[in-house]
Amino acid sequence: MAWQLTEDLGTYLAAAGGFLRAHPAQNTIMLTAAEAIRVRGPGAFGGPAPLFGWQAEPDGAVAAAFLHTPPYPVALTAMTAAQAASLAAELAGRGRKVPGVNATGEPGSAFAAAWQERTGRRRPASRGSRRRPTGTCSWPGSTRSTPRRARKGRTSRSGWSMTGSATAG
């Protein structure tokens, strides 16, 4: 599968928009950046023109997507390490300047390694995002506490203390 690349936001969203919107929490970076570009134009992030791309299955279904809004790192959707490595090779072959990659785990590492192999330059910084699949976040510690009113001088279980009172108005 080859990467389809464009500088046209409309083309990108027509091809990959449904894929991105199907998992808005995981793709929040790309959806937010795309909206900023739609509203403010291609110069929204101050660098060269943004680059968008997707990879489709033989049946046409989008399997992975990315966007690059210089001077920021390339942002990847969930994808395989092989897809990330092929994207790094494609961007390096086009002479794209990539300061880093925003991806989770193995795809981020694969992108960085492929980038270094293709360009001979040090690996771009890999920034693991905090994207998590819905339902996997948990509150640290016990959630079996009983609510109680804050009182002056009392320390909460979380270590916060109320040293004075504030009034609104």
Q: Do residues 84 and 110 make contact, with C-beta atoms less than 8 angstroms apart?
A: yes
Percent of residues, the chain, with pLDDT higher than 90: 61
Q: How far apart are CA 103 and CA 123, in angstroms?
A: 14
Arithmetic mean of pLDDT over the chain: 81
Q: How far apart are CA 17 and CA 62, in angstroms?
A: 9
- Say what the pLDDT of residue 149 is: 66
Instruction: For residue range 107-163, list pLDDT tens digits in order.
Output: 999 999 999 999 887 755 555 544 433 344 444 554 555 566 666 665 555 444 444
